[in-house]
Amino acid sequence: MHKASSILPECRPGCARYIAYGAGEGLGHSKTIFPLRPGISLRFRQDVAARIRSRIDRGVGDQGSPASRHACCETDSVSDPCVIPFRPRYSVPPLNCWLTGENAVKVGFIGLGAMGAPMLQRLGIAYPGNTFGFDVDADVTAKMSQQAGAHPCTSIVDIAQQCDVLFSCLPNNDVIRAVYLGEGGVVDGVQSGAVTIDCSTVGPDATREVYDGLKKKEVSHIDASMLGSVKQANEGTISFVVGGDEPVFDRVKPVLGACGELIRYCGPSGAGNHMKLIHQTLVAGHAVAVAEAMGLCAETGINIEAFYDIVTQGTGFAYSRYFENRVPRMREDEYSALFMLKFMLKDARLAKDMVPEPGSRYPTLTSVVEALENGVAQGFGEEDFSAVMKVIESRIGRSINS
């Protein structure tokens, strides 16, 4: 018998969200998830258990959450009103195990940088004793794995052999191809039936190459591009936009839930990449537009504090979280990287490359890319992408803070 309160640090109403025929309805919105294996029984607070049983008795939930479609319950087999036993309906349950043990889902992460390291830590909480880490830097592998309570791996093949679900967060198309399909890559170690989840911002063509290459080994690959930065990775509130086979998405959605909140299926392989890159055109374009608006304030003598208040508190359509959060930093000449300008340039270029003749068909995107290129050329690539403000300041010959 497993007590929910002994499995997790917190057990709130709603802990059956992914089991018991979609029992989470009306029980809150906890992201707590449990395994569905023969013999698993969970103890809930009595009022919660009663509501779960009520839904089971009514047959509610067949169209509910992914796990609800893979499990059914035997509520008459025990007398304890707080206990709900479960048994798998199908031979392959969703990948949503939070328990330790030899049958638990094993989850790994390749690329333990600014985003990968905190995500591994969150997976370590979700899958204690069953997480694995690898980075090309052995010292980083050792340090970040220790912090996350994960097993450090010695190579890509090593981690691929260990894991049922394998995440990656890597810098570009070439690295993705090498890590997954190159000699000594994931393809040389991964086991049939595993799922790989790439969270990198890369081109959809590279993703589809990996998808096709792994499919030959009966391995499923999904692209789960991320919206958010280090803050969201630490908080577990990343948004994932996902491409790949929808049944695979259903199986791994609970695993993604250990690291994020909004988790949206977008279509076949590469669709998550498309969605992220189009999203980034708005972000990059907005950064340039804000910088130019601030430049106009400086050149025309408009009071920037008044402009800030009007945009953030007024009823017009100029407001954005970017404006509200970044303009105060600009006013203090604070450009330490939350998301580096060079990475925003990479994303904008990838978006531009998705279509033919972007220069004539998407002139605004083209000019945004040029502004970011100027930022890198002027030495601001390692700073926050809001440092495009410095490009505008050099163009107009004055600072917004003078």
Contacts of 124 (CB under 8 A, 6+ apart): 131, 148, 149, 150
Q: Do domains 107-269 and 275-396 have the same CATH topology?
A: no
Angle between helices 204-215 and 271-300 (to 10 degrees): 160
> Can you give the pLDDT at residue 402?
85
> Can you give the pLDDT at residue 248?
95
Over the stretch 142-191, which tens digit does the pLDDT of each residue have? 999 999 999 999 999 999 999 999 999 999 999 999 999 999 999 999 99
Q: What kind of architecture, by CATH, is found in domain 107-269?
A: 3-Layer(aba) Sandwich (3.40)
- Token match 């374009």: residue? 285
Alpha helices in 301-362, H assignment, sequence order:
304-313, 321-331, 341-352, 358-361
| DSSP 8-state symbol, 340 | B
- Token match 């479609």: residue? 69
Q: What kind of architecture, by CATH, is found in domain 275-396?
A: Orthogonal Bundle (1.10)
> Can you give the pLDDT at residue 229?
87
| DSSP 8-state symbol, 386 | G
Sequence letter at residue 197: I
Neighbours of 1 (CB within 10 A): 12
CB 33 within 8 A of CB 40: no
> Can you give the pLDDT at residue 104?
75
Q: What residues does each domain of the chain span? A: 2-88, 107-269, 275-396
Over the stretch 31-70, which tens digit does the pLDDT of each residue have? 333 333 344 555 556 666 676 666 556 554 333 333 333 3
User: CA 270 to CA 224: how far, in whole Å?
Assistant: 9
Closest CA to 351 of 270, 264, 281: 281
Neighbours of 372 (CB within 10 A): 28
User: CA 290 to CA 7: how far, in whole Å?
Assistant: 47
Which helix (H) or strand (E) segment holds residue 140: the answer is helix 138-148
| Residue 217 annotated in active site | no
CB 203 within 8 A of CB 230: no
- The end-to-end CA distance of the chain, in Å, is 68
Q: Which of 253, 276, 346, 390 is catalytic?
A: 276
3-state secondary structure at position 391: helix
pLDDT tens for the chain, residues 1 to 402: 333 333 323 333 333 333 332 333 333 333 333 333 344 555 556 666 676 666 556 554 333 333 333 344 444 455 666 665 654 433 333 444 334 445 578 999 999 999 999 999 999 999 999 999 999 999 999 999 999 999 999 999 999 999 999 999 999 999 999 999 999 999 999 999 999 999 999 999 999 999 999 999 999 999 999 999 888 999 999 999 999 999 999 999 999 999 999 999 999 999 999 999 999 999 999 999 999 999 999 999 999 999 999 999 999 999 999 999 999 999 999 999 989 999 999 999 999 999 999 999 999 999 999 999 999 999 999 999 999 999 999 999 999 998
